[in-house]
Structure 1
Amino acid sequence: MNTPSVELADQVARAARYLRPHIQRSALEGKRELPTPCADFDVHRLSEHLLGSLVAGARAAAKEPLPADAPTTLTEPPWVVFPPLLDSLAAAWAEPGAWKGEALFAGSVRPASFAGTITIMELTVHGWDLATAAGRTFTTDDDVIATATAVAAQIAEGARARGIFGPEAEPAPDAAPLERLLALTGRKSL
């Protein structure tokens, strides 16, 4: 993928913006134990996974290691915890050097651009997961979906082997780009 870093930084910011309605109190209050399309995760566990992704993504952009005391559990509701983290994440990926060089991400050194596009995918796919669990409609921009799909295709085989993605579903011939991304990650509606 040869998308310029300025465009990718904008995609991170927009992916974060499209996630926001689905982490608000009105979307999630009283839904902590609802199942999500993300296998084995209820809304609370998925929110904690997303917490880790937000923190790790911002640290990767800043080229900083994840501290041993990085938060892994939610001690307050997502609608309290996530907004400042989303702001920090978008700001970190907007820095000029964020997309260059290497970053420590998911326990190994990776190209920074890989960590950034994984972040876009995480926000997009898990945004859909939360929206679906809450009975809401998720939308995002086509270029964000294209970036998320490209990185999902790149990691799909390994992600399936580790149980991160489910078996690939067959999208309908007329499936929208978001539906194709979700099928690639093994997502099915509830």
Structure 2
Amino acid sequence: MSEKISRLLEMAADRTVPVVRGITDAQLTAPTPCSAYDVHALADHLFQVLVNFQVLAARGETDFGAAPEHLEGEWRDRFADETVRLVAAWDAPGAEEGTTGAMGMPARTVGAMALGDLTVHGWDLARATGQPYEPDPAVVDMLRVDFGALAPKAREMGVFGEPVPVGADAGPFETLLALTGRDPGWARP
């Protein structure tokens, strides 16, 4: 049996929460490897992902079009709290079974999407703010398989960019980033 989504989400949160906590207010306007977002917009988007994917784990309906502002007050602490809630939501009995929400996708695939956002956007934010980021190998292994299958549809929906070529010596995470349309060598301007 493959690793539970909740355990993988916990591993990803352990790597991403310190990055979010390390973002300074002065860095919020910095560009990110995810060119549609600056640090503020990407952190806010990732916050929204955490909240919406908790609802999806419980088979509720979400509105990804609604974009409330999450980066107010002690938002870094609230972000960490939301990762705990996300893990708990995906750890609930039956969360990985059947289909979920209006997406009509297998629940495990939806959980993998949350895992991918937490991991890849964690890297985006780390790169944009000059922080280290090394995801857990188990997370990368799972995402390479699931994102490989999702990539064509994700590109069609504008969620992934065109794949970026990488050398034969590229590691598994670099290959995953390239699959999503990111340049693994992206550096802050």
Q: TM-score, normalised by structure 2?
A: 0.88
| RMSD after superposition | 2.1
Residues 121, 147 of structure 1: 8 Å contact kept: no
Could you tell me which of 147, 150, 156 is aligned with 2:151? 156
Structure 2's unaligned 5+ residue stretches are: none
Q: Deviations over 1:120-164 (max 9, x none)?
A: 111110000000000111111111011122222122122223332
Shift of 1:99: 0.5
Structure 1's unaligned 5+ residue stretches are: none
Q: Distance in 2 between matches of 1:87 and 1:18?
A: 13
Aligned to 1:84: 81
Work out the number of aligned pairs and report it. Answer: 184
Letter in 2 for 1:53: V
Aligned to 1:182: 177
Q: Distance in 1 between matches of 2:65 and 2:105?
A: 22
Residues 49, 72 of structure 1: 8 Å contact kept: no
Could you tell me which of 106, 111, 130 is aligned with 1:111? 106
What percent of counterpart residues are identical? 33
User: Which moves more between the two structures, 65-74 or 38-47?
Assistant: 65-74
Aligned to 1:61: 57
Residues 102, 110 of structure 1: 8 Å contact kept: yes
User: Which moves more between the two structures, 136-145 or 124-133?
Assistant: 136-145
Q: Distance in 2 between matches of 1:32 and 1:130?
A: 10
Shift of 1:80: 3.3
Could you tell me which of 5, 18, 23 is aligned with 1:21? 18
Q: Distance in 2 between matches of 1:99 and 1:92?
A: 10
Q: TM-score, normalised by structure 1?
A: 0.88
Alpha-carbon spacing, 1:33–1:12, altered in 2? closer, same or farther (3 Å): same
Give the 5 Å matches for 1:71-150.
72-76=68-72, 78-104=75-101, 107-150=102-145
User: Which moves more between the two structures, 125-134 or 167-176?
Assistant: 167-176
Q: Distance in 2 between matches of 1:92 and 1:122?
A: 16
Q: Distance in 2 between matches of 1:186 and 1:37?
A: 10
Shift of 1:75: 4.5
Q: Distance in 1 between matches of 2:10 and 2:23?
A: 20
Q: Deviations over 1:142-188 (max 9, x none)?
A: 11011122222122122223332122111221111110100111112
Could you tell me which of 25, 38, 42 is aligned with 1:42? 38
Shift of 1:78: 3.9
Q: Deviations over 1:94-123 (max 9, x none)?
A: 11211111111xx52221111111111111
Residues 28, 39 of structure 2: 8 Å contact kept: yes
User: Which moves more between the two structures, 13-22 or 124-133?
Assistant: 13-22
Q: Deviations over 1:25-64 (max 9, x none)?
A: x333311110000121100111121122111111111122
Residues 169, 187 of structure 1: 8 Å contact kept: yes
